[in-house]
Structure 1
Amino acid sequence: MSALSSTSTPPRAPYRFTVAALGGIAWNIFGAIQFAGSVNATEASLIASGLTADQAAVMTGYPAWMTAAFAVGVFGGLAGSILLLLRRSAAAQVLLVSLLAYVALWIGDAVHGVFAAMGAPQVVILTLVVAIAAGLLVLSRHPAAKA
């Protein structure tokens, strides 16, 4: 092995790894759009979008820490997915923080009545969000994640 080859760029990540990292980026961009909509939502706008008055009151009345958890989850997931695509070791730590924020949000939804007001679809959606965040974290620990 020559000295030149030891300083060359690392081998490319497997195609599936790259697709999964890009999927994480796309998923979290979608989440960021959802977050922006939730921050700007009012009871009137939520009712106009099809929620009942009770559902709209729950969605606009939960504690600020839940909004913060949503922000950390989604923007941490986006940053972590970008780091994952770039195969940076920091991806694992950032994705762990994102997962923990989503777990906190899931617990908050359960405790503060969001699941009760919105029903099973909300439970399924947020459980899927947590599962995807966990999957991205697992992916960040894969050997392909190391540059």
Structure 2
Amino acid sequence: AHGKHAKDLDGLKAIHKHHATLQERIDYIEKSIGDSADKHYEELQRLKALHAKHADALAKHGKDASAALAAHASVNERIAFLERAVGDSADKHLAELADLRSNHGLTAKDVAALREAHAKLSSDAQGTNAAHISLGQRLDLLESRLRHCFSA
């Protein structure tokens, strides 16, 4: 039995040599956890830096969007501007149309007055021509009488 125990003890010692000691195993676990913690800490720091960069970009984008919205007139403001422009234009056109109609009436009166003056001038010209003809006839008559007086 002693030989069996000795053999079992030798087998146990051989197995024990193949197994790491408790201290070695704890050291290994601590190193693994430490390496993992360092790696996670570095990743966390990178993540925080990226998060800060993203937050800055988001804030800048928000400011740019606000500035763009402030620079652009709202739809209601744009519609109001167009309505004023169209209204002002319509009022201006109505005033110009009234002026044109008024001037057209004056022009029509002037044309009528010119026609009347032309008709009178034509009539006077015809009367003058008629008087010239009668003067010619009168002159002929006087000449014929003078000839008759001198020939007798």
TM-score by length of 1: 0.24
TM-score by length of 2: 0.23
Comparing both chains, which one has the higher relative contact order based on Cα–Cα distances under 8 Å and sequence gaps of 6 or more?
Answer: 1
> Could you say which structure has the higher helix fraction?
2
